[in-house]
Amino acid sequence: MAKVAERHPKGLYVLFATEMWERFSFYSMVALFTLYLRDPVEGFGWDAADATTLYANYSMFVYLSPLVGGYIADKFIGYRRAVMIGGFFFMAGHLLLSFRSLPIVYAALACLVIGNGFFKPNVSTMVGNLYPEGSHLKDRAYNIFYMGINVGATAAPLVAEVVKRVYGVHVAFAVAAFGMLISVWILGQFRRYVEAPKPEVADTGSQIDMDRAVAGLDQRVHTPAPAMAIDLVPDRRRIGALIVIYLVVIIFWMVFHQNASTMTYWAEENTAWDFSGTISNAINPAWVILLTFPLVAFWKWLDSKGKEPSTPTKMVFGMVFTGVAFFILFIAARTGEATVTGDNPYAFEVSPLWLVGAYGVLTLGELMLSPMGLSLVSKVAPISKRGLMMGGWFVATAIGNKLTQIGVLWTYWLHSSFWLMLSAAALFMAVVLFFLLKPLKKAMPGV
């Protein structure tokens, strides 16, 4: 009998659009925020170190909050309801930022943290729940979903730059709230594609059936998949393996999320173009859009030959590409520093091609690490704890974001030294993860 080709469900595209508009609102704020804090006219005239520190603290709490939001969704309100609640908090936060007041800024950040906690882990979990256990489509689904994130993230800085120039930064923050309104409307309008009625559970007394019943409260239900190797691994061991992955990728997030602070400062002050640093935040997601489908096609081709690497192996390559990207910026900075004739070692500009090229390599690293991590959690986490463990992935992101505060060295170190340090950190963790592959594969067979 011919094998019936698996297809992506309609719910994937509903969640694609929901996340796309949410990320439009989120990354509008990210593209504007640190430069807004430093702006002496529309903002507050902060220095780079203070702006970097507040952004690092905000980012830490943004990515800690999914641990709580994932738990609440798992145990009490379900994934779709959690996402809707998060959307309303997001709208409130972006609207508050449209007022120039430092106390209101802190209130807005609190709303955004709460909104992200409810929204982010649960929309990601809903993607995985659209697919039967063991589906080969799951990695590719997360790549497609990740492209939706980056469609919104590409549009956000472009729109923010135009609105900021014409109407000012506070109106640009209000536009972010409008993007969130569209996101919530899409999920509400097409919810039938991403959830199913509460399942009836066979009276088998098996723990697997009970787990599926709990997890199925707010997700699509499938015919139970045949037992797989991962099903024979105890829950403790699976959770332990995920925690090891979380610890390793902390360094990736520390390095990657320099994009909203030091990489934006580099674009603003050391890149020879006529744009503000805000616009540079569109480069990375634009690369994601360009590279996602070719990369998905490449994994599909390898899968057809039985040679697709395991998810942890993909993540090793992701760390290597990340290190190479910052080494490119190191060379760019050394090139610029060699042209300095005065006493200011930061007074230089280099071609924007350095930044565009570095972002291209960094994006390859990101695509082999971030969506792969989401897929890994979805495949390895015990079903009844999937939202909680998805939250754990974001806790690792939170710690990495707090460590982006290392960007305070930007005004004390040579830029070349700073980029080299980030490159070395990423390459070191690639080596660590490589040597952990064998025990990780034993704890996560088949992924």
Q: Is the Cβ–Cβ distance between 40 and 201 less than 8 Å?
A: no
Residue 184 clears pLDDT 80, i.e. is over it:
yes
How far apart are alpha carbons 125 and 130 in whole angstroms? 9
User: Which residues, at least 6 apart from 252, have a Cβ–Cβ distance to it below 8 Å?
Assistant: 318, 319, 322, 365, 369, 400, 426, 429
Is the pLDDT at 203 greater than 70? The verdict is no
Helix/strand/coil for 13? helix
Q: Do residues 176 and 25 touch, judged by C-beta distance below 8 A?
A: yes
pLDDT of 129-142, one tens digit each?
888 877 778 777 88
**For residues 335-343, average pLDDT:** 93
Assess whether pLDDT exceeds 50 at residue 301.
yes
Q: What 3-state class would DSSP assign to 271?
A: strand
Helix (H) or strand (E) holding 375: helix 370-380
pLDDT greater at residue 442 or residue 50: 50
- As a whole-number percent, the residues of the chain with pLDDT over 90 amount to 56
Beta-carbon contacts of residue 242 (< 8 Å; ≥ 6 apart): 376, 377, 380, 381, 389, 392, 393
Q: 40 burial class (0-12, 13-18, 19+ CB within 10 angstroms)?
A: exposed
Beta carbons of 272 and 26 less than 8 angstroms apart = no
Q: Rounded CA gap, 253 and 198, in Å?
A: 37
Of 253, 149, 131, nearest to 194 by C-alpha is: 131
Q: What torsion do the CA atoms of 242, 243, 244, 249 make, to the nearest 10 degrees?
A: 90
Q: Which two tokens stand for residue 196?
A: 């199913």
Cα–Cα nearest to 174, from 85, 278, 96, 281: 96
State how far the alpha carbon of 198 is from the alpha carbons of 60, 220, 288, 396, 428, in Å: 35, 9, 36, 32, 47
Secondary structure of the chain: what % helix, strand, coil (to 5)? Answer: 80, 0, 20
Q: What is the pLDDT of residue 446?
A: 73
Rounded Cα gap, residues 267 and 3, in angstroms: 51
| Three-class DSSP category at 382 | coil
Give me the helices (H) in 190-234, please: 207-215
Q: Are 195 and 14 in contact (CB under 8 A)?
A: no
pLDDT tens for each residue of 73-130: 988 988 889 999 999 999 999 999 999 999 999 999 999 999 999 998 888 888 888 8
Count the neighbouring beta carbons within 10 Å of the beta carbon of residue 306.
Answer: 6
Per the document, the length of the chain is 447
Q: Rounded CA gap, 297 and 286, in Å?
A: 18
Residue range 367-372: average pLDDT?
Answer: 83
DSSP label of 412: T
User: Can you tell me the distance from the alpha carbon of 392 to that of 164, in angstroms, rounded to the nearest whole number?
Assistant: 36
Contacts of 189 (CB under 8 A, 6+ apart): none
Give me the domains of the chain, ranges plus CATH numbers.
10-197+205-221+233-443 (1.20.1250.20)
Confidence of residue 239 (pLDDT cuts 50, 70, 90): confident
Judged against a pLDDT cut of 50, whether residue 197 lies above it is answered with no
What is the per-residue pLDDT for 331?
A: 98
Out of 16-20, 205-209, 253-257, 431-435, pick the least confident: 205-209
The tokens 């982010």 sit on which residue? Answer: 120
Q: For 241-280, what is each residue's pLDDT tens digit? A: 888 888 888 999 999 999 999 999 999 999 999 889 999 9
Name the residue with tokens 């950040």. 109
What whole-number percentage of the chain has pLDDT above 70?
A: 91
**350 phi and psi angles, rounded to 5 deg:** -125, 170
